[in-house]
Each structure stands twice: as structure tokens, then as C-alpha cells.
Amino acid sequence: MNSIYSYTRDDFINYFLDIGEKKFKADILYDWLYKKRVTDIDSMNNLNKNVISKLKEDMFIDNIKIIKKDVGSDVVKYLFELSDNEKIEAVVMYHDYGTSLCISTEVGCNMSCAFCESGRLKKRRNLLVNEMVLQILEIEKDINKRISHVVLMGIGEPFDNYENVIKFVNIINDSKGIDIGARHITISTCGIVPKIYEFASLKTQVNLAVSLHAPNNELRNKLMPINKVYSLNELMKAIKEYINITNRRVTFEYIMLDGINDTEECAYELSNLLKGMNCYVNLIPYNETNNIGFKRSKSVKIDKFYDILKKNNISVTIRREFGGLVSAACGQLRSHE
């Protein structure tokens, strides 16, 4: 038995054809689940009795429990408990352009980036498709508002849970369901190169963000162990291929760590690395945590770094800060107490 929230509409079409029903029932079911948000198969009163009993036999409607909420001025952090008692976090952010949700993709994370709190708990398991979909459904119910943007930037490495993540994106993007536009969805990766090629070949309009954080192998090896598996050269090659195939602009995330990757030299090196690419750089002031020694760069350094990139014609922004007071900012989400 599977969760009803783990089916794409195509999956439902195949399901209904398999049980000898018309395929348009998939649309009806999607409407109940994602437009009307009904959580009880028995109330789907335009499906006949046979279909209802078959559905109840073959799948279940589940939920994930909100066990804690930290409310900041324009952000709310949610702690969820999953059916096996594992915990994950998700964060809602209110922007002037809409409401975005940062969701988790795994329980814990194996990428071991030196600066990141989320990775202090090693990966315990992938999130299931329904557990990602339910982060949206439960939060929309709680805030009584529609989420307009989804970023896969919570706990976990999305491309280390590739199949479930792609299925999840397919479900939330479906215009007959939750209907979040592809251009309003962003997947962030630390650089799992084969999956970048795979993702490129899908040719979707979904945004790709890459956590770069260093302009050379020596430094990136120290900060992000994944770089020892897929070096910067391989990573850049894959990203260029992605841009060629999709014609989409890539976002590079670059956290600013005091005295580590925020020197003028790094800024010049980064400019060279990205010259001529269809990309933009998001400079993220590092969020300090109690458990990790890195410090945030001074704001004059961040400004200087920004200026150098600008002068070299690299599009760049400094990320507005969200969630600091409630520990809901990038790299502060956890799967553990």
C-alpha cells in the first residue's frame, strides 16, 4: 500500500486503466486531493462505490504532524514528525512577491559540508514523495494561504534522493493539482554531477541552484567533501551543459565565511570561473551556529566582494536575511534535537 500523495497524475491514469476504469478519473481524484483538499476517500462523491472501495484497498491518505512552530517576523519554521518518528524542518517565508516554502528532502544529510548544521546528523533515510508533498499541504492548511514558490533547500541533498525529488516536483507542478509553476520551483545541489546531466536531459523549466562556496578545488575540497568526488572542473562542465540544453540561467550560492572564501583574490578567481556564463551569484551572509566555528564575513568585505563581481560583469545579489532569530536560516535546519 502506498500513500495517495505519492502518485503523479500519470501514475493515477495507469492505475485507473489497470483496474478497467476511464483515465479521466485521475483528474477527478487530483481535484479532490489538491484543489478541494479532501482527506477522506469516502467523501469523493462523484466516484462510484467500486472505485472508492478499490482506492481504499490500494492506498491510504496520510499526514505528517506539526510538532513545533517558531514564528519570526516574516518567517515561520515548522518541525514535523514523520510516521516513523523521524523529524524534519521546513520554513515559510513571506516576501513581497509571494509566499515561499523551503522544504527538506532527506532525514539528515551525508554531504558533510564543513559549515552546515543540517549535515551534523548523517542521513538516516530519503524522504518519500508523499512526505515532501505533505510539507506543502500541511503548511498551506496551517497558514490558510497558498504557497507560490518552493525551494528544495532544507535538510538533505535533493540529488541524493533524485527519483523521489523529481516525482515530487512533477506532482506539485501539475496544473490540475497544486499547480506551482516550474519557474517557481528551485532545486539546490551541492554538485552531484551525474544528476545534473540527468536533470538537464529532462529539459524542465525548474530552476537549478548550485552551492558553490569556493572558486578553486583546494578551498572547495576543504569546505565540501563532495568536491573530492566531483571536482570543480567536472562540476562547471556539467553546469555549462545544463545551460546549453535548457537555456536556463543557473544560480550559484556562495556563503561568505570570514577570512576563508571572502578575500578579493577569491572574488577575482570567482569572476574568472563564471565569466560569460548565463548565471547569477547569490552571496549569502553566513549564519553562525553554536556548534561550528566559522564566522560571518564583515559587511564591508561582502560589499567589496560584490563590487568586484559586478565590475567583472557577473550578475550578483546579496541575499536578504531570513529567519536568523528563529534559527530557520540556511544551514540551520536540523533533523535532531
Which is nearest to 122 in space by CA: 104, 109, 111?
Answer: 109
Stretch 108-137 residues interacting with ligand SAH (CB under 6 A): 111, 113, 115-116
Tell me which residue has cell 514523520.
82
**Do 227 and 236 contact (CB within 8 A), yes or no?**
no
Instruction: Verify binding: residue 157, ligand SAH, rule CB under 6 A.
Output: yes
Tell me which stretch binds ligand SAH (CB under 6 A): 52-60, 129-137, 187-195, 231-239: 187-195
* Distance between first and last Cα of the chain: 31
Residue 274 beta carbon to ligand SAH: minimum distance, rounded to whole angstroms = 16
Q: DSSP letter string over 134-163? A: HHHHHHHHHHTS---EEEE-SSS-GGGGHH
d(CA 76, CA 115): 23
Residues near ligand SAH (CB under 6 A), total: 19
**Is the Cβ of residue 16 or residue 115 nearer to ligand SAH in the bound state?**
115
Non-local (6+) Cβ contacts of 268 within 8 A are 308, 312
Residue 249 beta carbon to ligand SAH: minimum distance, rounded to whole angstroms = 17
**Is the Cβ of residue 108 or residue 177 nearer to ligand SAH in the bound state?**
108
Residues identified as active-site? 89, 330
Tell me which stretch binds ligand SAH (CB under 6 A): 12-20, 182-190, 243-251, 305-313: 182-190
Q: What is the contact mask toward ligand SAH in residues 246 to 275, using x (rule: CB under 6 A)? A: -------x-x--------------------
* C-alpha pair distances (Å), 206 with each of 130, 135, 173: 20, 19, 9
**Do 119 and 109 contact (CB within 8 A), yes or no?**
yes
**Is the Cβ of residue 32 or residue 78 nearer to ligand SAH in the bound state?**
78
Residue 64 beta carbon to ligand SAH: minimum distance, rounded to whole angstroms = 20
Instruction: Verify binding: residue 107, ligand SAH, rule CB under 6 A.
Output: no
Cα torsion 191, 193, 194, 195 to 10°: value is: 30
Indicate which single residue of 188, 207, 227, 335 sits in contact with ligand SAH (rule: CB under 6 A).
188
Largest CA distance in the chain: 69
Nearest residue to ligand SAH on Cβ basis: 331
**Do 323 and 93 contact (CB within 8 A), yes or no?**
yes
**Do 155 and 104 contact (CB within 8 A), yes or no?**
yes
Taking residue 262's Cβ as centre, other Cβ atoms within 10 Å add up to 22
Indicate which single residue of 4, 190, 196, 314 sits in contact with ligand SAH (rule: CB under 6 A).
190
Stretch 286-315 residues interacting with ligand SAH (CB under 6 A): 286-287, 289
Indicate which single residue of 72, 108, 215, 331 sits in contact with ligand SAH (rule: CB under 6 A).
331
Residue 77 beta carbon to ligand SAH: minimum distance, rounded to whole angstroms = 14
- Residues forming the site for ligand SAH (CB under 6 A): 111, 113, 115-116, 153, 157, 188-190, 211, 253, 255, 284, 286-287, 289, 330-332
